[in-house]
Amino acid sequence: MPFARAAAPGELRRLEDFCNSARFLYDEDAFATPGGATAWLREHALGRVEPDEAELARLAEAREAIRDVLGGTATAAAAAVLDRLAERTLTGPRWTRHGEPVLRPRHTDGSDAVLASLLRILFTAGVTGTLARLKVCRNPDCRWVFHDRSPAANSVWCSMDICGARHKMRAYRARRTGDHP
């Protein structure tokens, strides 16, 4: 991990890791090739999946839709992607014999099972309010997902040493030249 933030707690870490499977500042994407995706998914304990090209596209599409939701820039298109994937991968809500609500996956293996697990986490965290602390770096060239542990929950940069410093330098240069950001 290129940044010094602590990982998200509990299941949110799986969502954070999935979103960070692409490191835009370094032009890296774990889902660029089937072999890379297979290795990345195994390394991050998300499943023993060997995705084909269509599954790679679905994984990347899901990742970017989730980033849009976390970054507060969700569009109707991102919501439609998540709806379509939820319909494909999850059953409706059910209750256990102990009265606990659950979302069950339609499939127990393959990339759909991976997506079902992640969408369940996204949904549950959204309902419980814990999703609000999972954020996307405001630097459009970065978009790294991080867990905001600040007391006021107002962090906007993945790292003040990298993206925050770059933003401050750009703003400083713009002020010096008379251009305002």
Q: Would the pLDDT of 86 be above 70?
A: yes
- Work out the average pLDDT over 171-181: 63
The residue written with tokens 């008379």 in the block is 178
Between CA 168 and CA 110 the distance in angstroms is 44
Between CA 131 and CA 140 the distance in angstroms is 20
Name the most confidently modeled range: 32-41, 159-168, 172-181.
32-41
Q: Would the pLDDT of 84 be above 70?
A: yes
Domains and CATH numbers, the chain: 12-136 (1.10.3300.10)
Q: Taking the CA of residue 47 as centre, how many other CA atoms within 13 Å lie in the half-sphere pointing to its CB?
A: 18
Q: Would the pLDDT of 1 be above 50?
A: no
CB-based burial label for 113 (10 Å; 0-12, 13-18, 19+)? middle
Amino acid at 96: T
Query: pLDDT tens, 92-143?
Result: 899 999 998 889 999 888 999 999 999 999 999 999 999 999 999 988 889 9
Q: Would the pLDDT of 176 be above 50?
A: yes
Query: pTM score, two decimals?
Result: 0.86
The residue written with tokens 């713009």 in the block is 174
